[in-house]
Amino acid sequence: MGDLGQIILGGITTGSLYALFLLGVLIVFQVSKSMNFAYGQVGMIAAFSAWFFYSEQGLPVPVALVIGVLLAVIVNSAIDFAAIRRIPAGRPGLDLVVTLGIFLLITAVMQQLIDANAHTFISLGADTRTEVAGVVVSMSDGIVIGLTVVTVLAAYLLLNRTSLGTSLRASAEDAGIAQAAGVNVRALRTATWAVAGLIAAVVAILVASRLSVDAFYMTPFLIKAFIAGMIGGLDRFWLPLVVAVALGVYESLAVYLLGASAGTPAVFLLIIVVLALVPKRFVNERNEVRA
Amino acid sequence: MTGTTMTRPRRDGKSPAVGKGRGVPRLLTRVAVFAVIAAVPPLFFDDYWVFMAAQVLAFAVATLGLDILYGRTGQMSLAHASFMGVGAYTTYVMSSYGYGPAMQLAAVIGVALIAALVVSVPTLRLSGMRLALVTLAFGELLAWAIRNTTDLTGGTQGASVAPLLIGRLDSSEPLHAYLIALVPAAIATAFAVHLGRTQLGRRMLAVRDSELAAESVGVAVARTKITAFLLSAVYAGVAGWLYAGITGFIAPPDFDLFASVYLFVAVVIGGAGTVLGAWLGASYVVLMPEVFTLAGQPNLYPIVGGALLAIVALVVPDGIVGLGRNVWRRIRGVRGDEEESR
Amino acid sequence: MSTATGAPHVRTEGLTVRYGAFLALRDVTVSLPAGGISGLIGPNGAGKTTLLNAISGFTPIAEGSVHIGHRNITALGTRRRALAGVVRGFQTVRLMERESVLTNVLVGTERLPQPNALAQFLALPSQWRARNRDMAAATEVLDLLGLARQAHRRVDELPFASRRLVEVARVLVSSPSVILLDEPAAGLDQEGRQELAAVLTRVHENHPSTMVVVEHDVDLVKSLCSYVIALDSGAFLRDGTPAEVFGDRQVQLAYFGRAASADA
């Protein structure tokens, strides 16, 4: 039990981080029908600048963390405000191109402002361990899984059980009609991007506390979350999140069974096989309005 | 059903519609312009800049390929540099087993095609942004493969590639490298220009602009996307072959995600969907880092690149070529001969 | 398959189309005369566009079948139907906006036998033969529609009426045997409508085909169509000559909300 349990716990923790991160991608996609390629880098800003402020500038850790999170929220809102809203209609796919530029810009700027090296981050409970049924559980694992469950449930309840959620879903369905019905679509949209920025910041700080922080560490993470979203479908809610957790478990099982370097090819193989085998109707996005 | 009902006699003299006849002089003009520009680097610049010019030629093959995929077919690949890497590492492995340029090139094309088939066939029957994500994963896979095969590929430390020897030319000489690269670059350009005149090229444009309209006239949308992806992968592979031969040294960072993004920046800035834009983009991607290095600010290159990509995509989606075209149209408009349908 | 001389007869049998719980077409059996121009009329939401979509394969069919001549094409996808000779235009013009008129029209030659992708790319002789044939077809259609002078203009530079014609030209360039047009006169002024009717009549004389036109404008339908089918709320209402259909009380009720006496 011990080894395998440990592996599965590690997978669930990583998968929870993918899922939490993906939640931010999903709400943005559903409200503004766009993908933000720079999303991982938004989180990186939070963690990297927090590290810079407490380690290099000597600010207290909580203050540094708050500054980092605020920066991420501001940057993510600014991406929507300055770029995504200005994409002309009739140019599908331009959101990815534009945010690809922002991705590059953020990476280069952070590298320039801080540095290009990897640094250890405060551990946030990664060192506090207890043993449960032969499996070593760190406080960080608990925080990650707990936070993911609570956030996802809160998001679900917010979207489906409150009037705010109804407004959100209405503006996701048809912004024009929602506007006419008295929903403040712009404010909702801005709020969604800000919340997504917050989620990215939290995930990035948690990831940094478990690994280390530099200007690039969120990119593999972003790729994994996007892949889960792609397999599960960006216009759904539960399925992509479950896929994200499953992807984390699959990855750690692959590493456990096939060796430390097997993660990347295993994930690649998985997407190719899933995309090749799953029926087209299941994985396709909503069709464009026909004729 | 063929065009057999189309036998109504032509009202001759009343159809200025399709300028035939213009073809040959225009072709000669283009060849002449290409030759004159191609003669500039070796005649007026020293070895270092000839070496850079040779790299522009290699990268032009790559950007032309990305332009076929993104500019014409509207599909986004974030692994174009990785496909260059496939070409470069295939070259390295083949040359380390003692095979010459012809066998290297054949292997490069074969391996690029196989890799492209694996990536594109499951992905491109689906719609949307999936290709971008799967190509991202492919880039990771290539980096992983190189990291884990140090004996074969040199791993993260990179590898020195034997120069290309073709006839009396030796690609370790900048001038020779330039001359060697000139031929594939010219051929790649000619094919890319020609593609615009084929139904295959028009299918790609139709798929980019409206899949519904494309289907309505009988275009096989998925097959067209896959064809475009295969073509772009072969272009990238050949570019990697040239790059390995010209620079003599390859390493994983040359072909990582950022390298792919830079190629993207190149195509978008130059002007997606145009051959000239791809060339401008290739010059940008090779010469711009040099300019920043000369200016003592090498770190500014990625910052400027990122900002340019976002701004150009938003403000001038047709890039430099589109900008030039607009200016030209305005000048023509002032002259007031809009009726002229050239 | 059709032949060049005889356009086929288009028939639907018991056609039912559902969008979720909504019945867009209910058990529609219609028969469109071979080689004629048929008008498809009905109030908004009658199912005109859905019927066009069902015939051209753009909408999945819940029940029933579609036949072109003696061939049952129900199982064919959009593309195969286009290759079988059923080509359509769209209600909202779908063109490659940044490309030239000529390029837009040439895309329509996809139905003609084209050399394989490699032969095209490598410019083998078969590619040159196909190109000459396609150019000739495009030139002829552009002449016929009066677009010859605009051949090298970008589509987004053209006025709306010309862009409509470009789409019609893209449909016509491969001489399809069944032509489906969805409100080709939408957005045109009176003059433009008359011109369009004249052009379509001319096209029909030059290229025998079975043409189906969805249209709201009664006068246009009367001047263009030899046969009219009226739909209402997804169901078949009436068919016959324009005079018969527009004279029908039920059609008038559905279409105008009242029985118009003078108009019919």
Q: How many CB atoms lie within 10 A of CB B46?
A: 9
Q: Which residues of B touch C71 (CB under 8 A)?
A: none
Is residue A172 a contact partner of residue A253, using CB atoms and an 8 Å limit? no
Does C90 reach chain B within 8 Å, measured CB to CB? yes
Q: What span, in angstroms and rounded, lies between the C-alpha atoms of C25 and C235?
A: 6
Give whole-number Cα distances, B140 to A167, A249, A268, B241, in Å: 40, 19, 9, 20
- B317 contacts chain A (CB < 8 A): yes
Residue C239: in which H helix or E strand, if any? strand C235-240
Nearest Cα neighbor of A264 from B114, B150, B143 is B143
Task: Report whether pLDDT(A158) > 70.
Answer: yes
Terminal-residue alpha carbon distance, chain A: 57
Check: CB of residue A267 under 8 Å from CB of residue B170: no
Q: How far is CA C144 from the centre of its chain?
A: 17
Q: Rounded to an integer, what distance in angstroms lies between the CA atom of residue B335 and that of residue C2?
A: 50
Whether residue A51 contacts residue A208, with contact meaning beta carbons closer than 8 Å, is answered with: yes
Residues 6+ apart with CB under 8 A from C16: C23, C25, C26, C27, C28, C61, C62, C63, C64
Q: Which of A30, A19, A9, A14 is CA-nearest to residue A168?
A: A30
The gap between the terminal CA atoms of chain B, to the nearest Å, is 33
| Segment 14-53 of chain B within 8 Å of chain C by CB | 14-20
Which residue among A109, A227, A290 places its CB closest to the CB of B303? A109
Closest listed residue to residue C183, CA positions, set C28, C2, C51 = C51
For residue A242, count CB atoms less than 10 angstroms from its CB and return exposed for 0-12, middle for 13-18, buried for 19 or more. middle
Are the Cβ atoms of B213 and C95 closer than 8 angstroms? yes
Q: Any idea what DSSP says for residue A213?
A: B
The answer to whether the CB of A213 falls within 8 A of the CB of A47 is yes
Residue A127 is encoded by which pair of tokens? Answer: 């060192």
Kindly identify which residue of chain A lies nearest to residue B145, measuring between CA atoms.
A265
**Which residue does chain A place closest to B148, by CA atoms?**
A261
Alpha-helix runs per DSSP H in chain C: 48-56, 78-83, 101-107, 117-121, 125-144, 160-172, 190-206, 218-224, 242-247, 249-256
Query: How many other C-beta atoms are found inside a 10 Å radius of the C-beta of residue C56?
Result: 24
Number of CB atoms found within 10 A of residue B151's CB: 7
Strand-pair partners of C88: C180
Query: Which of A94-98, C124-128, C242-246, C253-257 bottoms out in mean pLDDT, i.e. has the lowest?
Result: C253-257
* B311 CB within 8 Å of a chain A CB: yes
Q: Is C136 on the interface with B (CB under 8 A)?
A: yes
pLDDT given for residue C243 in this prediction: 85
Chain C contact present for B147, CB below 8 A = no
Q: Out of A101, A112, A268, whose CB is closest to B141? A: A268
The stretch A122-128 carries a mean pLDDT of: 76
CB contact under 8 A, C91 and A291: yes
Which residues, 6+ apart, have CB-to-CB distance to C163 below 8 Å? C93, C95, C155
Assigned token pair, A208: 């940094």
| Residue of chain B whose alpha carbon sits nearest to that of C116 | B200
- For C67, list phi and psi in degrees, rounded to 5: -130, 140
Query: Which backbone phi and psi does B23 adopt, to 5 degrees?
Result: -55, -50
In this complex, is the C-beta atom of B339 within 8 Å of any C-beta atom belonging to chain C?
Answer: yes
CB atoms within 10 A of CB B154: 21
- What is the nearest CA distance from B73 to chain A, expressed in angstroms? 12
All residues of chain B having their beta carbon less than 8 Å from the beta carbon of residue C82 are 215-218
Residues of C in contact with B198 (CB under 8 A): 120-121, 123, 127, 131
C-alpha distances out from residue C128 to A79, C113, C119, C135, C180, Å: 49, 13, 10, 10, 31
Q: Beta strands C22-32 and B169-170: pairing type? A: unpaired
B51: number of Cβ within 10 Å:
18
Smallest Cβ–Cβ distance between B11 and the set C95, C143, C177 belongs to C143
User: Residue A282: pLDDT above 70?
Assistant: no
* Residues with Cβ within 8 Å of residue B111, at least 6 apart in sequence: B86, B87, B90, B237
Q: How many CB pairs under 8 A join A and C?
A: 12
Indicate the length of chain B as a whole number. Answer: 342
Compute the C-alpha angle B230/B234/B239, nearest 5°.
Answer: 145
Place of tokens 């001969």: B337
- Looking at the complex, does the CB of residue B325 fall below 8 Å from at least one CB of chain C? no
Question: What is chain B's pLDDT, residue by residue, as a tens digit (342 residues)?
Answer: 333 333 333 333 344 444 445 667 888 888 888 888 888 888 888 888 999 999 999 999 999 999 999 999 999 888 999 999 999 999 999 999 989 899 999 999 999 999 999 988 888 877 667 788 888 888 888 988 998 888 888 888 889 988 888 888 888 888 899 999 999 999 999 999 999 999 999 999 999 988 889 999 999 999 999 999 999 999 999 999 999 999 999 999 999 988 999 998 899 999 888 999 999 999 999 999 999 999 888 888 889 989 998 998 888 888 889 888 888 888 876 554 444 433
Strand partners, C40: C214, C229
**ipTM at complex level:** 0.89
End-to-end CA distance of chain C: 38
Q: Name residue B165's beta-bridge partners.
A: B170
CA distance A66 to chain B (A): 26
- State which of A169-173, B158-162, B200-204, C111-115 shows the largest mean pLDDT: B200-204
CA distance linking residue B276 with residue B254, whole number of Å: 24
The confidence score (pLDDT) of residue A286 equals 44
Cβ distance C42 to C231 under 8 Å?
yes
> pLDDT by residue (tens digit) across C119-154?
999 989 999 999 999 999 999 999 988 888 989 999
Residues A290, C91: C-beta atoms closer than 8 Å: no
CA–CA distance, B292 with B45 (Å, rounded to integer): 19
Is the pLDDT assigned to residue A289 strictly greater than 80? Answer: no
Cβ pair A100, B264 in contact under 8 A? yes
Could you give the CA distance from residue A220 to residue A212 in angstroms, rounded to a whole number?
13
Q: Is the pLDDT of residue A182 over 90?
A: no
How large is the average pLDDT for residues A34-42? 91
Residue C166 per-residue DSSP state: H
Asked if A105 and B306 come within 8 Å (Cβ–Cβ), the reply is yes
| CA gap B11, A281 in Å, rounded | 50
The H-assigned helical ranges of A33-59 are 39-51
Averaged pLDDT, C84-107? 90
Pick A284's closest partner by Cβ from B127, B147, B268: B127
